[in-house]
Amino acid sequence: MKVEDILRLPSMPAASPSYPMGPYRFVNREYMIITYETDAELLRAAVPEPLVPNADNHVLYEWIRMPDSSGFGDYTESGVVIPCTFNGEPVNFTAQMYLDDEPPISAGREIWGFPKKYAQPKIEVCSDTLTGTLHYAGQLVAMGTMAFKHQESPGGVEATAKHMTKTSCNLKIIPDVDGKPKICQLVAYNLTNITIKGSWTGPARLHLVPHVNAPVADLPIKRIVGGKHFVGDLTLPHGRVLFDYVKDQAG
Amino acid sequence: MKKQDVLGLSAMPLQSPTFPRGPYKFHDRQYMVITYITDRDAIRAALPEPLEPAGDTVSVQWLDLPDGEGLGAYAATSQVIPCVYQGKLCNFISQMYVDNTSPLAGGREIWGYPMKYGKSVLKTATDTLTGTLHYAGQQVATGTMVYKHDNQVPDATKEGHHLARPQITLKLIPDIDGKPAIAQLVSVEFQEVKVKGAWQGPARLELIPSVNCPLADLPVRGITGGLHLVTDMVLPYGKVIHDYLA
């Protein structure tokens, strides 16, 4: 394999790259997001400086079904998102993410720094209940339930689509071959070409089980704020660096 | 979390790093290595420059790793291409499949081990040492070897020479804008290798074409033989031997 071909590879392995070049298009992506209030001190500890956690101490626990994702296939994801601010701008920080498909795990970690691990999330309509579960290493660690399409979201699909343009942000860490940090950055991206096809709110409940390697319960539930359910198409593009810890330390 | 603590993290995510710092110690790490003859053109195409081919044999290896410190219990299947770098005989790891995120993410992000998620099993099935690999629900590889027929290997350490060769990986990490941030050849040399058992014997190998797990792209033209090893060893950090972006 020639050098120019190596530099054109989107990812490892050269014999069969895990993921192609972006952007990545998602069709019929379905979300269930349960918002809850947690402990202020624990939230502060889970958010890397210079991000500042939201003053309401809200946490978003999410399930996302992705049946048709260009380059990645068919998979499901579940995890923890923390609304924050960066220099006063509202951003959503992805704190933990669990999914059942390797290419989006590798691409997620290696391109944007999504903190992804392999696990078994599931979202399905079980009789009258929209139900999300997450199993990690054989154990149930999260179970969320929401009333099914009881009420259309305030502002309808347009308001949900506008909300989805909010900046998202991750802590990307890639070690060097000697174990020292090679890449240590806050990176940001914004979804594009968003079409929301349906959006609902409703009562919800959430159960989180303590587990050391999938510590979703480390941000305990003090109060459930509510549930959101929506379906849409969107594009995940490349992003930008917000803050570089290695450069910051070097001054 | 404070900025200086962020720089001290071994890996993502902040709340529960996927892998700790190395080195990584393995106990009872078991190998079945099936060496076979393939096409020289296919070897040349699979080896990144400036690595040079070393003959016409490659191997598919099954690994059972019941106790990997920091990583857990898992199994792996890999394809290994012997090669030459600056006159030295090395093993290029061209493909690797594991069923555990800690070594998968750590392997890719530290050294550039070309790991994907696949279900590898190495077990003794009645009289046969048997390796299978399933990828995306389909069986893509089957290896079989006689079980400890040759139990009189006079010098087991000799078999360990196979493990003494530097392993070479092609580490590729994109930048947030999609351009390459890291494009390197990395060399890793196992340390404290202790061969606890070594057996040679007849083996067979079946590789089935699959687009996202293309072991069969190096077709089997003839089997050279099987090697069964039980070892303890340490996987240390590596070193960059070639930087494509420099």
* Tens-digit pLDDT profile for residues A205-245: 999 999 999 999 999 999 999 999 999 999 999 999 999 99
Average pLDDT, chain B: 95
Cα distances (angstroms) measured from residue B147 to each of A167, B121, B127, B162: 58, 16, 6, 20
Residue A140, min C-alpha distance to chain B (Å): 17
* Tens-digit pLDDT profile for residues A5-42: 999 999 999 999 999 999 999 999 999 999 999 999 99
Report pLDDT for B152: 60
Q: Report whether pLDDT(A251) > 90.
A: no
Q: Which of chain B's residues have a Cβ under 8 Å away from the Cβ of A245?
A: 3, 6-7
Report pLDDT for A7: 95
Q: Which of chain B's residues have a Cβ under 8 Å away from the Cβ of A4?
A: none
Instruction: Tell me which residues of chain A, numbers 89 to 148, contact chain B at a CB-CB cutoff of 8 Å.
Output: 95-97, 101-103, 105-106, 109-118
Residue A116 known to be catalytic = yes
**CA B163/CA B227 separation, integer angstroms:** 12
* Tens-digit pLDDT profile for residues B153-212: 666 666 667 788 999 999 999 999 999 999 999 999 999 999 998 999 999 999 999 999
Domain ranges of chain B: 19-167+190-240
**For chain B, what percent of residues have pLDDT higher than 70?**
96
Residue B63, min C-alpha distance to chain A (Å): 19
pLDDT band at B150 (very low <50, low <70, confident <90, very high): confident
Top residue of A177, A216, A238, A244 to mutate, by most chain B CBs within 10 Å, is: A177
Q: What mean pLDDT do residues B9-13 have?
A: 97
Dihedral angle computed from the Cα positions of residues B174, B175, B179 and B184, in that order, rounded to the nearest 10 degrees: -50
CB–CB of B7 and A96 under 8 A? no
Cα distances (angstroms) measured from residue A68 to each of A192, A235, B5, B97: 17, 12, 38, 24
Going by their DSSP bridges, the two strands B88-98 and B167-174 should be labelled as: parallel
Q: Report whether pLDDT(A132) > 80.
A: yes
Query: Is domain A19-250 annotated with CATH 1.10.1040.10?
Result: no
pLDDT band at B217 (very low <50, low <70, confident <90, very high): very high
* Tens-digit pLDDT profile for residues A154-213: 999 999 999 999 999 999 999 999 999 999 999 999 999 999 999 999 999 999 999 999
Q: What mean pLDDT do residues B109-128 have?
A: 97
Q: Report whether pLDDT(B10) > 70.
A: yes
Query: Is domain B19-167+190-240 annotated with CATH 2.40.400.10?
Result: yes
Report pLDDT for A157: 97
Instruction: Tell me which residues of chain A, numbers 41 to 100, contact chain B at a CB-CB cutoff of 8 Å.
Output: 45-50, 95-97
Residue A239, min C-alpha distance to chain B (Å): 5
Residue from the list A11, A15, A21 with its beta carbon closest to the beta carbon of B94: A15
Q: What mean pLDDT do residues A99-128 have?
A: 97
Q: What mean pLDDT do residues A137-162 have?
A: 96
Residue from the list A2, A101, A173 with its beta carbon closest to the beta carbon of B11: A173
Residue from the list B10, B47, B180 with its beta carbon closest to the beta carbon of A1: B47
Query: Of the residues A116, A162, A222, A247, which is catalytic?
Result: A116
Domain ranges of chain A: 19-250
In chain B the beta strands, taken as DSSP E runs, fall at 24-37, 52-53, 57-68, 72-85, 88-98, 115-117, 119-125, 128-135, 138-146, 167-174, 180-188, 191-201, 203-207, 222-235, 239-243
* Tens-digit pLDDT profile for residues B226-243: 999 999 999 999 999 999
Q: Beta partners for B191?
A: B234
Chain B contact present for A3, CB below 8 A: yes
Report pLDDT for B157: 61
Which of A136, A133, A70 is CA-nearest to residue A104? A70
